[in-house]
Amino acid sequence: MPKTVWKGGAVLAPVPTALVTCADGGRVNVLTVAWTGIINSTPPKTYVSIRPERYSYDIIKKSGAFVINLTPKSLVRAADWCGVKSGRDFDKFKEMSLEHEPSPDFGIPMLCGCPVSIECRIFDTVSLGSHDMFMADIVSVCVDEQYIDPKGKLRLDKADIVAYSHGSYYTIGSYLGDFGFSVMKRKTAKRKQAQKYK
């Protein structure tokens, strides 16, 4: 099917719907961020891109750390609300009844209702235009034990994670295959698929 040239813009999708928590002295906040991802595997590094006018921007810049909390379907309303409302005007944790506990290294609130919380330390900041990118080392990854199977595998397929696509929220869809499935022997692929749904 032929393609047409569409208006330029930030249309790469889907992307995570991440609830980012931060703290600096007496100030704590949670904001929703779609511009986040992995920038390196070994050592593990990530980023969040945030507009400088956001309330959390200064908190993150001063503290040098933040936590990326992956959003499950049960918290999609909170994620939307925390992306629209400002921490200057509301205690978002209280307003959305977000239970939290301190992260292991920096004591930043981690959201108890999120299956994964990724604790990050900033190593560089890049001004890009509308957003500044905080590039960070992943210091710790805290996982709700119910999403770790008996073999120690992380089962985010059971966590109902939410993605964001061009203005709308979605849960991740059907299982299609594991990395390398296109070159896997048929017998191995059948065994792995059967194990996936145990």
pLDDT in tens, 164-198: 998 899 998 787 777 787 787 777 777 766 666 55
Whether 48 shows a pLDDT value over 90: the answer reads: yes
Q: What global pTM score does this model have?
A: 0.91
Q: Under a CB-based contact definition with an 8 Å cutoff, are residues 22 and 60 in contact?
A: yes
Contact residues for 120 (Cβ-Cβ < 8 A; gap 6+): 46, 48, 65, 66, 67, 68, 136, 137, 138, 139
- The stretch 70-89 carries a mean pLDDT of 97
Instruction: Give the DSSP letter of residue 2.
Output: -
Whether 68 shows a pLDDT value over 90: the answer reads: yes
Instruction: Give the DSSP letter of residue 168.
Output: E
- The stretch 28-54 carries a mean pLDDT of 97
Nearest to 15 by CA among 168, 182, 192: 168
Whether 163 shows a pLDDT value over 70: the answer reads: yes
Q: What percent of the chain has pLDDT over 70?
A: 95
Q: What percent of the chain has pLDDT over 90?
A: 78
Q: Name the burial class of residue 36, with classes exposed (0-12), middle (13-18) and buried (19+) by CB atoms within 10 angstroms of its CB.
A: buried
pLDDT of residue 116: 98
pLDDT of residue 7: 78
Q: Rounded to whole angstroms, how far apart are CA atoms 55 and 69? A: 18
pLDDT of residue 25: 87
Nearest to 113 by CA among 30, 182, 196: 30
Q: What is the pLDDT of residues 146-161, one digit of tens each?
A: 999 999 999 999 999 9
Q: What mean pLDDT, rounded, does the chain reach? A: 92
In the CATH hierarchy, which fold is given to the domain comprising 15-196?
Answer: Pnp Oxidase; Chain A (2.30.110)
pLDDT of residue 137: 98
Q: What is the pLDDT of residues 104-146, one digit of tens each?
A: 999 999 999 999 999 999 999 999 999 999 999 999 999 999 9
